Structure 1
Amino acid sequence: MDLSSHILVVDDDPELRTLIGGFLREHGYRVDEVGDAAAMRDAIARRRPDLIVLDVMMPGEDGLAAARRLASESGPPVIMLSALGTDTDRIIGLEVGADDYLAKPCNPRELLARVRALLRRRSPAGDGGTGTNGATVFGFDGWSLDVARRELRDPAGTYINLSDGEFALLRTFIEHPQRVLSRDQLLDYARGHNVDVYDRAIDSQVSRLRRKLNERGGTEMIRTVRNEGYMLLPSVVRR
């Protein structure tokens, strides 16, 4: 059990909120519960959580708008819960910046598994992943990515905000430079085998990441290889 991880549950249904919060506490997490997006903002200001479980359909600011704002502010990772469970609904949730999406009603054990998977990817102890050989800072075409600090800086040294999904994708490209990666490989490397994501969500996140890199660097960094996948063009140097 990870007693240090703090989870914020945001849902306007008090019964479900209490059920989820209690289940997560039973498995060793510190949990706060709030009923809407405004209370979520106040809770984050008091103590930033390691992860947010966020309902989609809430009064006032809905979960999609809240997730989009959190992603733009490089907020904590988000697992969205929604009674809307079609593929399109899931894709929209992932495209606005959520890291995972579960349809209600969900099995609490599946939610727990996804919480654990997201927190593992966020853990500094896990930053010696495939291809890093213990290095935490990588340079490519004047850019710098500090894996341990989760910091991307452009050639001028300016910090660039990345969502969790964008960071996971960039790290995957950095660890497999100048190599074509299929969507399936990106799904496996960046999100893990047990997370429910879709090809279109990968395409959307690659597009956003590529736009951030191109805006600052001015040259093509990630190439689309027709019918095969994507490739990071610059060479990578460990520092």
Structure 2
Amino acid sequence: MPRVLVVEDEPQLARALEINLRARGYDAAVAPDGKTALRLAAAHPPDAVLLDLGLPDMPGIEVMRGLRTWSQAPVLVVSARSTSDEKVAALDAGADDYITKPFGMEELLARLRAATRRADPGSRSDGSAVVTANGFTLDLLAKKARRDGNDIRFTPTEWHLLEVLIRNRGRLVSQRQLLQEVWGPACRTRSNYLRVYMAHLRRKLEADPSHPRSLITVPGMGYRFEV
């Protein structure tokens, strides 16, 4: 049973999320503040986290950064903050998705299912199992990467984006296709997600992120993976 940690200080919303998650087969735990969230996560590591940014004791971004020091579980931000800068900051800190309040419960649950599928080590990877390109090696079946003899860690969303590009290596993948495959149909116009995550991937994989050799941008159109 997948375990979901709900970090939300508004009791009615927290209770509604808990009830809906349990009704759909999740093991839901609720934390009303950041310290409780980090304590519960350490005691019983979650498979996914629904995280509010406006917590009473610390910013939700700090909770996410704390989780990211040891956990790669998907983090879905659920917040009333809706500016582009705040969304980009959350994604940059390690969020896998950003859902703005008020939201539809079915959409949130669909995004949660998508995030947990991406994080599932049993998910299928198409194409060659091992890809070597410009100084790094990716093992798609083991979901591992190495560069210069060192292991590289990815969030589930970063890895899923990379997999889509590798499956289509040498071919242009449109922004719309990437957004739909990685984040779902509701995010097909959110090109800022791609800018943030492609920057993450280049920092981790490219020898010179400002002049990428593998993760190529085709301005106004999409991206291409080159070996």
Q: Give the TM-score range, shorter chain.
A: 0.7 to 0.9
* Aligned counterpart for 1:42 among listed residues 39, 43, 46: 39
Q: What secondary structure, in the 3-state scheme, does the structure 2 residue paired with 1:124 have?
A: coil
2:153 corresponds to 1:140: no
The percent identity for this pair of structures is 31
Q: How many residues align structurally? A: 226
The answer to whether the 8 A contact 1:100-1:196 is kept is: no
2:59 corresponds to 1:62: yes
Measured after TM superposition, the shift of residue 108 of structure 1 is 1.9
CA distance in 1, matches of 2:169, 2:60: 35
Measured after TM superposition, the shift of residue 66 of structure 1 is 2.5
CA distance in 2, matches of 1:79, 1:117: 11
CA RMSD of aligned residues (A): 2.5
Q: What secondary structure, in the 3-state scheme, does the structure 2 residue paired with 1:207 have?
A: helix
In the superposition, relative to structure 1, how do residues 16 and 70 fare at CA in structure 2: closer, same or farther (>3 Å)? same
Q: What secondary structure, in the 3-state scheme, does the structure 1 residue paired with 2:29 have?
A: strand
Q: What secondary structure, in the 3-state scheme, does the structure 1 residue paired with 2:185 have?
A: coil
1:237 — aligned with what? Answer: none
CA distance in 1, matches of 2:36, 2:171: 45
Measured after TM superposition, the shift of residue 199 of structure 1 is 0.3
Q: State the one-letter code of the partner of 2:102.
A: P
Q: What secondary structure, in the 3-state scheme, does the structure 2 residue paired with 1:33 have?
A: strand
2:150 corresponds to 1:153: no
2:221 corresponds to 1:228: yes
2:172 corresponds to 1:191: no
In the superposition, relative to structure 1, how do residues 144 and 74 fare at CA in structure 2: closer, same or farther (>3 Å)? farther
Q: What secondary structure, in the 3-state scheme, does the structure 1 residue paired with 2:12 have?
A: helix
CA distance in 2, matches of 1:78, 1:38: 16
In the superposition, relative to structure 1, how do residues 120 and 194 fare at CA in structure 2: closer, same or farther (>3 Å)? farther
The answer to whether the 8 A contact 1:145-1:151 is kept is: yes
CA distance in 2, matches of 1:145, 1:183: 23
1:172 — aligned with what? Answer: 164
Q: What secondary structure, in the 3-state scheme, does the structure 2 residue paired with 1:9 have?
A: strand
Q: State the one-letter code of the partner of 2:191.
A: D
2:120 — aligned with what? Answer: 123
Measured after TM superposition, the shift of residue 197 of structure 1 is 6.5
* TM-score using structure 1 length: 0.82
2:105 corresponds to 1:108: yes
> Which segment drifts farther, 93-102 or 209-218?
209-218
CA distance in 2, matches of 1:5, 1:196: 27
2:202 — aligned with what? Answer: 210
Gaps of 5+ in 2: none
1:10 — aligned with what? Answer: 7
In the superposition, relative to structure 1, how do residues 197 and 8 fare at CA in structure 2: closer, same or farther (>3 Å)? farther
CA distance in 2, matches of 1:191, 1:19: 24
Gaps of 5+ in 1: 235-239
The answer to whether the 8 A contact 1:101-1:196 is kept is: no
> Which segment drifts farther, 118-127 or 83-92?
83-92
For residues 181-223 of structure 1, give each alpha carbon's deviation from its aligned partner in whole angstroms, at most 9, with x where no partner exists.
2211221233333457710120121012112112499972222
1:20 — aligned with what? Answer: 17
Measured after TM superposition, the shift of residue 72 of structure 1 is 5.7
* TM-score using structure 2 length: 0.86
The answer to whether the 8 A contact 1:8-1:32 is kept is: yes
Measured after TM superposition, the shift of residue 28 of structure 1 is 0.7
